[in-house]
Amino acid sequence: MSNAVGERYHALDAVRGGVLVLGVFFHATLSFLPGDQMWIVMDASRSAELSVLFFTLHIFRMTVFFVLAGFFGRLLLERLGVGRFVLNRAKRIAIPLVMFWPLVLTAFIATLLWAAAQANGGALPEGPPPPPMTAETFPLLHLWFLYVLLIFYAAALLLRAVVHLIDRNGALRSRLVDPIVRLIAGPAAPLLLAIPVAAALYFKSNWMMWFGIPTPDTGLVPNTAALVAYGLAFGFGWLLNRQPEILESWGKRWAFYVLPATGATAGALILGGGAGPVIETPEQSLTTFGFAALYGFASWSWTIAIIGFAVRHLAGHSRARRYLADASYWIYVVHLPILIALQTLVAPYPWPWFAKYPLILAVAFAIMLASYQLIVRYSWIGSILNGKKQKPAKAQHGAPQLVAAE
């Protein structure tokens, strides 16, 4: 891992691209979950195995993402200054949100109506009209992460301004904050970082326990549990950037966390009701407390293990990983309507899930990667998402510009 000016953190880029791509694997499981209707389209073949995959991916995927977002956010701020940082984040985060949200919502609604018609013999079923769009019902869909990132960036800039007024020479940060971060990031990190996550989950009202951290995909005011869990990850990543050598220590002991992460995941799954999704919202009890504690611990154990593994083993440049990291932003933005359409197409057929699920993924990635290469990578869209790139004939082989985790 390097932090030389002009170079990328190749390991962290690999993780950033990886967790966004895992979002496709995550959402592709939805039509196969056992039990009652949980998704727009439900397949004829259900799978407890894919339910476990869904559960496990949700534990760590966005926590890892927001740690990296915080890390890269401070890195960009230190390199660019406040003014250029705000412009950069507006271009990379705010503009894609404003530009793609109406397009994705339109595609999502069209695909939803088509899926409903397919399930009803070709005609749209009658039903109540959708609720009016308000601040509480605003459908951010899977682009919620961009909206929440903007909130976190604004909060970070505000807190930074306050801290600089109080600690003008940086002595307080160096003598107090940095040692505390080193202590928290030590061997007991998953246990310490799990405490606020577990508390936020345990005290969440109407908490559907099996689904862990509630996704803030609806409403302009994110739910408190998500703000605490992902805000903690973002803030901790921001502070880690002051001492990037901490990530090197994670790289040395990444394997130490794999078994605890696996065990805590299994324990949470058992306490949560097993491999099938459980919709009920249980009352606060020793079971819900144990689940929340195990879930928070598993989330951070996986996060440290994954980032540490990448720092240890993926620190070198890889053209394939670099390409995937660049493509991952586009892939995540457009993947959901594509998945729903493919899930709808294969749902009626009596094939086993282990044939359908890989087929959906293969076709979806073929479409998304082809569209990225043909219409995004070297276009104005790619310039907004990842920065301007030259076509191979004119490509420069020096180190590319660093792009923050988006």
- State pLDDT tens for residues 98-154: 999 999 999 988 988 888 887 777 777 777 777 788 889 999 999 999 999 999 999
Residue 394 is predicted with a pLDDT of 52
Q: Is 275 helix (H, G, I), strand (E, B) or coil?
A: coil
- Where helices occur in 9-90 by DSSP H, the ranges are 10-28, 48-89
Residue 393 is predicted with a pLDDT of 63
Q: Say whether pLDDT at 14 is over 90.
A: yes
Q: Say whether pLDDT at 395 is over 70.
A: no
Tell me the C-alpha distance between 148 and 163, whole Å.
Answer: 22
Of 28-32, 135-139, 302-306, 357-361, the range with the lowest mean pLDDT is 135-139
Q: Say whether pLDDT at 34 is over 90.
A: yes
**For residues 341 and 111, is the Cβ–Cβ distance under 8 A?**
yes
Residue type, 270: I
DSSP string computed for 90-128: IIIIIHHHHHHHHHHHHHHHHHHHHHHHHHTTTSPPP-P
Residue 282 is predicted with a pLDDT of 86
Q: Is 337 helix (H, G, I), strand (E, B) or coil?
A: helix
Q: What's the whole-model pTM score?
A: 0.92
What percent of the chain clears pLDDT 90, i.e. is strictly above it?
Answer: 78
β-partners of residue 39 are none
- State pLDDT tens for residues 42-73: 999 999 999 999 999 999 999 999 999 999 99
pLDDT band at 396 (very low <50, low <70, confident <90, very high): very low
- Stretch 300-314: mean pLDDT: 97
DSSP 377: T
- State pLDDT tens for residues 156-198: 999 999 999 998 898 989 999 999 999 999 999 999 999 999 9
Residue 254 is predicted with a pLDDT of 97
For residue 314, report the phi and psi dihedrals to the nearest 5 degrees.
-125, 25
Q: Which string of b and e fits 83-92 if b means at least 16 CB within 10 Å?
A: eebbebbeeb
* Closest by CA position to 209, among listed 302, 265, 155, 271: 271
